[in-house]
Structure 1
Amino acid sequence: MKKLESGFLKGTTFDDAVRLTGFGRFHYESILVCSLCVLVIGFQNGLSAYVFPAAQCELHLTSYEIGLLNVAFLAGGTVSCFFWGILADLYGRRKVLIGTHLTNAGVMIICALSPYTASIVICRFLNGFLVGGPGSIIFPYFAEFQPPRFRSKTSCYCGLFFTLSWLILPLLSHLILPLPIDYNFGGVLVLTPWRLFMVVLGVPEILVGLWFIRMPESPKYYAAAGKIDKSLDVLKKMFAVNTGRSRDCYPVKYLRNENKVRTNKYENSISCERKAIRLLKTVLGQIKSLYKPPLRSITFLICSIMFTNMFGMFGLGMWLPELFVRFEKYQALHPDSTISVKELASLFKEDSSETCQSFFNNTVINNTVAMGVTSLVFNFACCLAVGWINIRVVTMVALILGGACAGSIYWLTSSLQNLIVSCIFQATMISANMTIAGLGVELFPTSVNGIAVCLILFSGRIGAVLSNILFGYLVDSYCDVAILVVSAVVVVGGLLCLLVPSSGKRRELGVNRDNIQIAVLSNIEYK
C-alpha cells in the first residue's frame, strides 16, 4: 500500500494527464452534449415568456399570477442551488445530469397536459428545482474533460448556447403557438398549442439525458474521491477515442493524488464519519471561509453584482415579450397614434374586464428573434473582448449600458423603439451574466471556487425572484415604476464593478490566489 501511495505522489498531475489524452473526437462529443445541455437549460429559463401569455385566456391568469408562475420556477432553482452540488460530490456529476434531465422531461409532460393552474405552479417549481442540477454542475463536468489550454475558450463558447436558446424559443413559438389545436380528453387531459409547445421542449431533455448515459463520469471526480484506477480508465478511454490507438498506449501509468496531499489533515480526523456528513461539514466550512477576511468583501461584492444583473435579466427580461404584445395590440387598433408605456399599462388594466382573446402576431415573434440574434452577436463579441479587455470592465460597461436602456423604456412610444432598446438590454444582461461568473472564477481560489459560484448564483436567483414579484404586481398599474426600479438597480450593479480589485491591486492588498487559498484551507480544517 505504501508503494502504491508513493507511486501516486510521484505520478502525473491531473492536468498533464488530460493534456496527454490529446484533443479530438471525444472532446468534440463532450462539447456537443454539454452545449445541448446548456441549450436545454436556456429553454427552461426562457419558456415562461412565451408559454404563459399564450395560456392566459385558457387558465384565466392575471398578470400577477403569471409573475407567480415565473417566481415558482426561479424559487425552485434557488432552493436547489447548493443541493445538487453536494449530491454531485456524493454520487458523481454524470448520475445527477442523467437523473435531473430525464425526471425534468417527465415533469414537463405532466405540466403540459394538466388542466389545473395549481398543478402547473407545482410543476414549474419542480422544473426550476431539477434544472438547477445541470445548471450548477454542467460547466465543472465539462471543464474537467478539457485540456487546460482549451478550458476557458471552450467553456465560453459552450455558454453561447444559452443565448442561442433564446433565439430558438421564439422561432418554435412562431411554428407551434398559432396551430389550431384544442383537444379535451374528459376534462382530465387538455392539449392546446402552448401545451404542445411544452411537450416539444421536453424532447431535448430526454435526448440529452439519454446521451449522458453513454458519457463517462468526470475523471477529476474519480481522482478527487480517491478512485485513481477509475480516473485512469476514463483518461485511457479519452486517449483511445481521440487518437484511435490502443488504451494500453496511453503514457500515464500513475496519477498524483493531489487532493489527498492537500486535505490529508482534516480528512484523517473525520474518516470514521459518514460520507454525507463529512461532505456537508466541508461545504459549511467552505461557506464559512467565504465570509472571513480576505474573501469576505469579495464575496459580498460579487454576490451583489450578480443580484443586480439577474434582477434585471429575469425581471424585465422575462416581461419584454409581453410589452411587445401590448404595443402591437394598441397599434393594431390605433395605427396612427403613439402611446407611452405608462399609458399602455393603464389602458390594458381598464380593458381587463372584457372577454379575453388570445393575441398572436408575427411581428412580436420577429422582434424576439431580433433580440436573440443581437444577444448572440454581442455575447460572441464579449467572448473575444475578454481576451483583450479586463473582464471587470466588460461587466461594468454591459451593466451600465443595460441599466440605461431599461430606464429609457419609460419614454418609448412605439414598438420599434421598444425593439431597439430591448435588443440592447437583453444582449448586455446576458453578456454581463456570463462575465460575472468569470469574475467569480478569477477572484476565488480553486479550493472554494465551486461553492463560491453556487453562492453567487443563489444571490442572483434571489434577485430574479424579487424582480418577478415586483413586475407581476406592478405591470398593470405602475409598469413605469417597475421599469425605473430595474434600471436603478442594474446601474448600481455596474458601478459596483469599480470596487472589484484589479490583479495589481489584489497583489498590493495581499489578496492573491495563493494567500487566499492558504487562508481558506486553514479555515476548513476540522480539529
Structure 2
Amino acid sequence: MIDFEASSTPETATGGEGNEPPDTRPRLYTVDKPGRPKDLTVDFDRAITLCGYGRYHYELVFLCGLIFMSAGFQNGLNAYILPSASCDLRLSSGEKGLLNVAFLAGGTTSAMLWGIIADIFGRKNILVGTLLADGSITLISCLSQSFPILFIFRFLNGFVIGAPGSLVFSYLGEFHAEKQRAKSICYVGFFFTLSWLVLPGVAWIVIPLTFNLRLNGLLLNSWRLFVALFGVPPLVAGLLLTRFPESPKFLVCQARYKEALKILRSIYVANNRRRTHEYPVKIILAEGCAPTSKEEAGPKSGKEESGGVKVLFGSIRKQIGCLFTPPLLKYALLCSTMLFANMFGYYGLGLWFPELFNRFETYYKLYPNCTTVTICELASFVNPLGVGPVAQAITRVSNATGDALPFLKVRQTVDDNISLGEEHIDEPLCNGTIDEKVFVNTLTMNAISLLGNIASGYLADRLGRRTMPVATMVLAGTFGCAIYFLETAFQNLVVACLFSTFIATANMVLSSVIVDVFPTNVSAMAICLATLSGRIGAIMSNLLFGLLLDINCGVPIFLVGGVVILGGLLGFFIPKKGVVNDIRIAIPA
C-alpha cells in the first residue's frame, strides 16, 4: 500500500515557473479526477463524501439492519413465550408481569452506561461484545426450568441488548455523509418493523408443536425452542460485525487520524473500484467533535488503551460534563423530550391496538346484528365468557416496552407421558388458539409500517431536518386522537395502520437527527439519554392509560395523542443544519 502521507506532487513540492512561490492552498478535487494533486485538506463530511456511496455502504446498512432486527426480536419475545411458559412454569399473573418488568429494567439500567462507554472506547467493540453476549444469554435461557432463573436471564437480555438497540445508529451514521445519513438510518428502521412480522410468523409455526424432551432433568419443548431460535441472529450479527472497522468519524475525534484515513481509503476502493492511492485526501479537519485536547481524547489503541479504573471514571466524568454543558444541554433535553413524547404514544396507544382488534372480533361474535360500537363502549364491555373490560386486560398484560401483544393466546399442550407431580394430576391441560382475524390485522398493520420506513428513507434526504419529525409526529398524534371516534373494526384497522406508520417513522427519524446534531464524541451518549427518556415515557403511558381508562375513556386517548403532537411541534427548535458546538481543529493525518 502506498503511504499517502509521504507522497508529494510536482505542483506542491516546488514552485511554478520561474521563482514563483509554491501554491499551498487546499484544492477541492472530485473523485472522478484522479490525476489531480493529492493534497486535499477537508473536514470529515467532505472526506466521507469523496468515498462515494456504493457497495460498502449497502453491506453496512444490511448488517446494521440485522443488528437492529436482533434488538427487535428481544423486544417482542416475551409476548410469545409467556402464554406457554406460564403453563409450563406455573406462573401467576404477577410473575408474568415481573418478567416483562425484568426486561425493561435491564434496558433502563444500562441505557446511559452503553452510551458513555461507547463514546470513550468506540462503537464497534461494544456492539460486538453485547451482540455475542445477548445471543449466548438467549441460548442458555431456553434451558430455564423456573421463574427466578428465567427472570434473571430476561433482565440480562434487556441489559445487553440496549447497546445494539441504540448504538447502531451512531455506528451507521458515522460512516455516512450528511446527505445519506438520515436515509440510511430510516432504512435500518425497516428491519425493526420486519422483526415484528417475523416473530409472530415463527411463533405460529413453532409454539403449537407438541414435543417434550427431557435431557439430564431439563425439560425441552416448543417455547424453549422458540427462544433458542432467536439467540442465533445476534450471534450471527456479532460475528459479521467483526469484519467491519471502527467508526472512522469516532477515530478522527480520538485523534487516530492514520486509522481513520486507512478506513476511508478502503471504503473508497470498495465503492469506486479504484486503487488506494487514488483517494484524494491527506489531511482531515477534526470537525463535529466536542472540544477536547489530544491527551483527553479518551483511550487509544494498543498499549495506550490501559489506564485503569481512575482513567475510565475520569473519561466518563468528562463525557457527561461535555453533554450537560450549554449549548449541548439544550439540545439534549430537546431530543430527549421529543423521544419521550414519541414513545409515550408508540407504546401507549400502540399496545392497545391488538387488544382492540380482539375486542371488536369478540363483540361481533357475541352480537352479530350489531355493526357499530364505540371505543368507550368497548372499554367497559365485559365478555360473558369471562374476559374482563379492556382496561383490565391492558393493565394485566401491558409491557412498558411495547412488547406485549395480548391477542396471542397460544399455549403449549402438555404431553400425557410427562409426569407433572402428584399435586398436578387433576389439573386441566394447557391449550389455546390464535384468533386468525386478529393475527391477520396485526400483520397488516406491521406490513404497512414497513412501507412507511421505505418512504421515509426516500424522503429523508429530500426534506429538511425539521420537516420529517414534525410532520410524522403531528400526523401520528392526530390519528391517535381519532381513535376516540372509531365505531367499526375496519376503521380501527385503518387508524392503527396510519398511527403505527407515522409514529414508528418518527422514531427512526429522531434517531438520525440526534446523530446529525451532536458532536461525534458525545452522540452515542446523547442517543442513549434520549432512549432512556423514551423508555420512561413508555412506562408512564402504560400506567396512565390503564388507570385513566377506567375513569373516562376519552381522557387517556386525547392525552396520549396530545403529548405526541406537542412533541412533534418541538421539532421546530431542531437546528436546521450543522453540528451543535461545531469545532474545527486542523491536525495533519
Q: Say if 1:143 and 1:405 are closer, same or farther in 2 by CA, change over 3 A.
A: closer
The 2-side partners of 1:65 and 1:482 are apart by 28
Q: Say if 1:364 and 1:269 are closer, same or farther in 2 by CA, change over 3 A.
A: closer
Mapped pair 1:119 → 2:149: yes
Letter in 2 for 1:110: I
Q: TM-score, normalised by structure 1?
A: 0.80
The 2-side partners of 1:461 and 1:76 are apart by 11
Out of 144-153 and 157-166, give the one that drifted further: 144-153
1:228 counterpart (238, 241, 257): 257
* Corresponding position of 1:525: none
Q: Say if 1:57 and 1:419 are closer, same or farther in 2 by CA, change over 3 A.
A: farther
The 1-side partners of 2:176 and 2:113 are apart by 25
Structure with bigger helix share is 1
The 1-side partners of 2:78 and 2:554 are apart by 19
CA contact (8 A) 2:346 2:503 kept: yes
SS of equivalent to 1:517: coil
* Corresponding position of 1:174: 204
CA contact (8 A) 1:405 1:425 kept: yes
Alpha-carbon distance, 1:416 to partner: 4.3
Letter in 1 for 2:210: P
* Corresponding position of 2:400: none
* Corresponding position of 1:524: none
CA contact (8 A) 1:406 1:484 kept: no
Letter in 1 for 2:243: R
Alpha-carbon distance, 1:261 to partner: 10
Output one character per residue of 1:428-448: Cα deviation in whole Å (capped at 9) or x when no partner: 321222233345456656675
Q: Say if 1:392 and 1:409 are closer, same or farther in 2 by CA, change over 3 A.
A: same
SS of equivalent to 2:293: helix
SS of equivalent to 1:49: helix
CA contact (8 A) 1:341 1:412 kept: no
The 2-side partners of 1:135 and 1:101 are apart by 10
* Corresponding position of 1:455: 529
Alpha-carbon distance, 1:30 to partner: 1.3
2:350 counterpart (305, 310, 317): 317
The 2-side partners of 1:442 and 1:244 are apart by 29
Matches within 5 A, 1:280-291: 280-289=316-325
1:427 counterpart (496, 501, 512): 501
CA contact (8 A) 2:479 2:498 kept: yes
The 1-side partners of 2:432 and 2:438 are apart by 13
* Corresponding position of 2:340: 307
Output one character per residue of 1:129-175: Cα deviation in whole Å (capped at 9) or x when no partner: 11111122212211222344322322222222222222222222232
Output one character per residue of 1:92-113: Cα deviation in whole Å (capped at 9) or x when no partner: 3221111111110111122233
Q: Say if 1:412 and 1:110 are closer, same or farther in 2 by CA, change over 3 A.
A: farther
Give the unaligned 5+ runs of structure 1. Answer: 522-527
Alpha-carbon distance, 1:209 to partner: 1.0
Letter in 2 for 1:343: F
1:340 counterpart (357, 364, 378): 378
The 1-side partners of 2:547 and 2:248 are apart by 49
Q: Percent of aligned positions with the same letter in both sequences?
A: 37
The 2-side partners of 1:496 and 1:115 are apart by 44
Output one character per residue of 1:185-237: Cα deviation in whole Å (capped at 9) or x when no partner: 46533322x33222222211111111012222222233222222222332233
CA contact (8 A) 2:108 2:532 kept: yes
CA contact (8 A) 1:219 1:234 kept: yes
SS of equivalent to 2:220: strand
**Structure whose alpha-carbon radius of gyration is higher:** 2
Alpha-carbon distance, 1:322 to partner: 4.7
CA contact (8 A) 2:245 2:263 kept: yes
Aligned length: 501
* Corresponding position of 1:358: 432
The 2-side partners of 1:10 and 1:35 are apart by 34
CA contact (8 A) 2:207 2:226 kept: yes
Alpha-carbon distance, 1:372 to partner: 0.8
Task: Indicate the RMSD between aligned Cα atoms, in angstroms.
Answer: 4.1
Letter in 2 for 1:380: I
2:60 counterpart (30, 43, 54): 30
Matches within 5 A, 1:173-212: 173-185=203-215, 188-192=218-222, 194-212=223-241
CA contact (8 A) 2:480 2:560 kept: no
Matches within 5 A, 1:69-218: 69-185=99-215, 188-192=218-222, 194-218=223-247
Letter in 1 for 2:183: K
SS of equivalent to 1:189: strand
Alpha-carbon distance, 1:459 to partner: 0.5
Alpha-carbon distance, 1:77 to partner: 1.7
The 1-side partners of 2:337 and 2:330 are apart by 11
Q: Say if 1:225 and 1:268 are closer, same or farther in 2 by CA, change over 3 A.
A: closer
The 2-side partners of 1:222 and 1:405 are apart by 43
Letter in 2 for 1:231: A
Q: TM-score, normalised by structure 2?
A: 0.72
Q: Say if 1:452 and 1:95 are closer, same or farther in 2 by CA, change over 3 A.
A: closer
Letter in 1 for 2:49: R
Q: Say if 1:267 and 1:216 are closer, same or farther in 2 by CA, change over 3 A.
A: closer
Q: Say if 1:77 and 1:457 are closer, same or farther in 2 by CA, change over 3 A.
A: same
Alpha-carbon distance, 1:36 to partner: 1.2
Out of 272-281 and 89-98, give the one that drifted further: 272-281
The 1-side partners of 2:146 and 2:361 are apart by 30
Q: Say if 1:153 and 1:133 are closer, same or farther in 2 by CA, change over 3 A.
A: same
Mapped pair 1:489 → 2:525: no
Output one character per residue of 1:357-404: Cα deviation in whole Å (capped at 9) or x when no partner: 423233232122101111112333344455566665554554455445
Give the unaligned 5+ runs of structure 2. Answer: 7-23, 27-38, 394-426, 585-589
Alpha-carbon distance, 1:285 to partner: 0.8
Output one character per residue of 1:47-83: Cα deviation in whole Å (capped at 9) or x when no partner: 3333324544434445554443333222222221121
Q: Say if 1:186 and 1:465 are closer, same or farther in 2 by CA, change over 3 A.
A: farther
